[in-house]
A and B are shown apart, each in its own frame.
Chain A
Amino acid sequence: MNREMLLEIKKVTKQFPGTKALDNVQLSVERGEVHALCGENGAGKSTLMNIIGGLYPPTDGELFFEGKKIAPKNPGEAQKIGIGFVHQELSLCPHLTVAENIYIGRLPHKGDMIDFPKLWENADEVLSRFGANFSSKTKVSDLTVSEQQLVEIAKSVSLDCKLLILDEPTSSLTDKETRKLFEVVRSLKQENISILFISHRMPEIFAICDRVSVFKDGRYVCTMNVPEINADDIIRAMVGRELGNLYPPKSSCIDKTTELLKVENLSGKIFKDVSFELYKGEILGFAGLVGAGRSEIMTALCGIDKKTSGTVWVNGKAQSFKNYRDAVDQGVCYLTEDRKKQGLYLDMSIKSNMASANLKAVSKGIWLQEKLEKRLADEYVKRLSIKVAGIEYPISSLSGGNQQKCLLGKWLSIKPKIIIVDEPTRGIDVGAKLEIHNLLRTLADEGVGVIMISSELPEVMGVSDRVIVVHEGHLSGEISEDDMMTEENIMRLASGEAV
């Protein structure tokens, strides 16, 4: 059965100064299908989306929409044709109401005045199509991220879009919110709207997508029917080679007699009475829902945020960190989950970023030594095989995976005794993910204490030797036996039930 093609892309090439982001690629989207786009970072997915969404024109090649050739010059034109684009970073006016955001730039009016009754009515009607449980009079800033995303989708749908591009829509959603988003996607599909869905998460692709197209290094690899394949097929196409084990082997040398870290009755703003130990040689995983308090436990432990009570022992010595500097001087560090906001100095050089936690090591007295700074950056660029054009370039020029490796290098340079990594592989590609997992394992083997927070259950189970689950600010359980480590058991603990 041959279905009608909504969007066809033929031989599109995009040349940026210095790089060819897309090389002669093709893609076709059927009417009413959910089509996934996969590929490592830098594979060209975003460039292609931006071309379809009218953010910039292709250097070469043609786009057809409903059989007609199109060349949208800006997002407004793309919208008129029927292409909606929901970006990963939402772009709403937070101080205005939902309705005003949906109808921004085309508010219904009577004469010169805004026709508010009609505005509310129209907006509520659009929202009701997705079963939204908030009114169109709500201020956007009062909504959760997933609700704001719904507003963005409603905005596109109210413009009668026929193709909706969702760029990593689930990256900041909880599992429950993700399920809700999927319902919305399914109802859009019912209305014969096509969805282009970008995601790094395999289970999501298998949950809602009909077909998947894979890109690699700016080239189109293949398109597959999702029901006929499994995750390995996609990964193989993405990396272009067979992946051996997805995760490094577990530890064989956990020394239960050496406590690198011990935490007793730690309490803070949103968590209470947290106690646990970290043994030499192991990777300790922290699982739980987003917002359960995992990151907050760790930032309080390191003195980044205030704790209200509790004691922390490092290598058997009680420590009271007055601030984060104290903790870092004792070799305890925390790698943030929010790379862009809390991790990187985007406009500064790679070497300045890597030295930022450790200026003493690159100084003599109070004077910075450029030579030492370069040596430090070079050392970790080499050791972590970070792909850089030069350590003088701004860190914003690197891909997500390489930025994350720079941050790891920054913390390794303090010679940590305990390193806490929070969502260490969020939004980075499969290859870099594997390297980071291997690195964490090497560190643990060398005797560095490793704690990893992750919302990706396969990652938590694959990498950790032991998993502690957090539920609404307290520890709801611990899983150390391999056969008990199942997604089901972790999810039960994470939602507050017993195993």
Chain B
Amino acid sequence: MSVKNGKTTGRNLVKKFFAQRETSVLIIILIAVAIVQIIQPKFLNVSNLKSIALSVSTDGLLSIGLCLALILGGIELSVGGVAAMTCVLTGYLCLAGVNVWAACLVSVLAGVAVGLFNGLMISKVGLPPFIVTLGMMNLSRGVAYILTKGSPLSLSGYLPDSFRFLATGEVLGIPMLFIIFVVIAVVAHIFLMKSNVCRNIFYVGSNEDAAKHSAINVDRVKIGVYVTVSVLATLSGILSLGRFNVATPELSVGAETTAISAAVIGGTSFTGGVGSISGTFLGIVLLKVVNSALVMLNVSVYWQDFVQGAILVLAVTMDYVTHKDKSNGGIICALLNKVRK
């Protein structure tokens, strides 16, 4: 009897493991890596892995932000614009002779201001997040163009090594930028899952009216999230400056769609109330691995958008199809069941 029980709980654990969105995404990543590695043995070399890690990091910061905004039941389209604006602003100030750390502080304040503006317009004025952040997307990108007059600013010689180390340095062979990103992601994950402040994001996203009727200060939660998202975008912008040594207004063009895709592939609901940083993390890794694979396989870069779009549609469709029947344990269980039959 006890053996039997042990068996069933064991099977339940397996089922639970496979029902996690993270598991599905991880398995897809592993399969993708394996296939590419067989065709192109240079795929898993150190320099390629590093370059994947770098591109995961800057877009990953934006993806974490989008994950938060989506759980809240909102959306944030201005992350790419804010990254460009703060990148350019920091560079512009450095060229004007301001200390790089002071310039970073000014940029962070600018990021906070953007987040406050978004949050206030959405909560207190009551405008739809899509419209507010769409406007801010152009506003912030516009600031970047105005400051640079359209052409990238070169900063070679202006940025101190201590600053550049954050973006280009390595610790034990691991890019510093990636370490920073992982630390932020882990901290964000713990806060989102375990802190009572962040639980309110789920409540508001699940049912805003009910949150109001549960004595949750809905406006404060919204403003908090939009400020956090903007600050994450600012970090991404500043770190990109250090990485490329150039302040370009074209930074992160279209990154908001990559970030949305990463969050959604990672299981974040578009209607709010559901999502996780761990899923989002794997989502952005999957997108970047596939991008890199396309390059390594000598596929024209013009295919990148196409493939990214296809992955998103495929992930969401599979999710929808497998979760229509709630008793079943996600994509993998569905596949296993199919095979068994």
Residues from chain A with a CB closer than 8 A to the CB of B203 are 345, 348, 352, 356
Q: At the interface with chain A, which of B119-127, B193-201, B307-315?
A: B193-201
Interface pair B196/A356, CB less than 8 Å apart: no
Interface pair A325/B207, CB less than 8 Å apart: no
**Is B213 located at the chain interface by the 8 A CB criterion?**
yes
Q: At the interface with chain A, which of B146-154, B164-172, B214-222, B238-246?
A: B214-222
* CA A360 to CA B196, docked complex, whole Å: 8
Interface pair A325/B217, CB less than 8 Å apart: yes
Interface pair A324/B215, CB less than 8 Å apart: yes
Residues from chain B with a CB closer than 8 A to the CB of A327 are 215
Whole-angstrom distance from the CB of B17 to the nearest CB of chain A? 16
Q: Which of A353-400 contact B (CB under 8 A)?
A: 356-357, 359-360, 362-363, 366-368
**Is B322 located at the chain interface by the 8 A CB criterion?**
no
**Is B202 located at the chain interface by the 8 A CB criterion?**
yes
One of A328, A343, A346, A366 near B196 (C-beta < 8 A)? A366
Interface pair B209/A348, CB less than 8 Å apart: no
**Is A274 located at the chain interface by the 8 A CB criterion?**
no
**Is B212 located at the chain interface by the 8 A CB criterion?**
yes
Contact with A along B70-107 (1 / 0, CB 8 A): 00000000000000000000000000000000000000
Residues from chain A with a CB closer than 8 A to the CB of B217 are 323, 325
* CA A328 to CA B199, docked complex, whole Å: 18
Whole-angstrom distance from the CB of B89 to the nearest CB of chain A? 32
Residues from chain A with a CB closer than 8 A to the CB of B211 are 356
**Is B20 located at the chain interface by the 8 A CB criterion?**
no
Residues from chain B with a CB closer than 8 A to the CB of A345 are 203, 206-207, 210, 273
* CA A433 to CA B196, docked complex, whole Å: 33
Total A-B contacts with CB atoms under 8 angstroms apart: 71
**Is B274 located at the chain interface by the 8 A CB criterion?**
yes
Interface pair B206/A357, CB less than 8 Å apart: no
Whole-angstrom distance from the CB of B277 to the nearest CB of chain A? 16
**Is A342 located at the chain interface by the 8 A CB criterion?**
yes
Residues from chain B with a CB closer than 8 A to the CB of A343 are 210, 213
Whole-angstrom distance from the CB of A37 to the nearest CB of chain B? 29
Whole-angstrom distance from the CB of B205 to the nearest CB of chain A? 9
* CA A336 to CA B212, docked complex, whole Å: 11
The SS class assigned to the B binding surface is helix
Contact with A along B256-286 (1 / 0, CB 8 A): 0000000000000000011000000000000
Interface pair B216/A356, CB less than 8 Å apart: yes
**Is B300 located at the chain interface by the 8 A CB criterion?**
no
Total B residues in contact with A, Cβ cutoff 8 Å? 22
**Given known A323-B217, A325-B215, A368-B194, contact A344–B210 (CB-CB < 8 A):** yes
**Is A347 located at the chain interface by the 8 A CB criterion?**
yes
Whole-angstrom distance from the CB of B75 to the nearest CB of chain A? 19
* CA A342 to CA B214, docked complex, whole Å: 9
Interface pair B206/A342, CB less than 8 Å apart: no
Interface pair A347/B273, CB less than 8 Å apart: yes
**Is A105 located at the chain interface by the 8 A CB criterion?**
no
Interface pair A367/B195, CB less than 8 Å apart: yes
- Identity of the chain A residue whose Cβ is nearest the Cβ of B271 in the assembled complex: A347
* CA A392 to CA B216, docked complex, whole Å: 22
**Is B327 located at the chain interface by the 8 A CB criterion?**
yes
**Is A145 located at the chain interface by the 8 A CB criterion?**
no
Q: Which of A392-435 contact B (CB under 8 A)?
A: 410
One of B194, B196, B213, B215 near A342 (C-beta < 8 A)? B213
**Is A17 located at the chain interface by the 8 A CB criterion?**
yes
* CA A323 to CA B210, docked complex, whole Å: 15
Whole-angstrom distance from the CB of A401 to the nearest CB of chain B? 18
* CA A390 to CA B196, docked complex, whole Å: 22
**Given known A327-B215, A328-B215, A347-B273, contact A367–B210 (CB-CB < 8 A):** no
Whole-angstrom distance from the CB of B304 to the nearest CB of chain A? 34
Residues from chain B with a CB closer than 8 A to the CB of A367 are 194-196
- Identity of the chain B residue whose Cβ is nearest the Cβ of A343 in the assembled complex: B210
Whole-angstrom distance from the CB of A237 to the nearest CB of chain B? 34
**Given known A346-B207, A348-B206, contact A359–B199 (CB-CB < 8 A):** yes
Residues from chain A with a CB closer than 8 A to the CB of B195 are 366-368
**Given known A345-B206, A345-B207, A348-B273, contact A357–B196 (CB-CB < 8 A):** no
* CA A341 to CA B206, docked complex, whole Å: 11
Interface pair B215/A357, CB less than 8 Å apart: yes
Can you sample 9 A-B contacts with CB below 8 Å? A325-B215, A325-B216, A333-B215, A338-B209, A341-B207, A344-B210, A352-B199, A356-B211, A357-B214
Residues of A within 8 A of B (CB): 17, 304, 323-325, 327-328, 333-334, 336, 338, 341-348, 352, 356-357, 359-360, 362-363, 366-368, 410
Given contacts A323-B217, A345-B273, 9 further A-B contacts (CB under 8 A): A336-B213, A348-B273, A352-B203, A356-B210, A356-B214, A356-B216, A357-B215, A366-B196, A410-B214
Q: Give 3 nearest A-B pairs by CB, closest first.
A: A359-B196, A328-B215, A345-B206
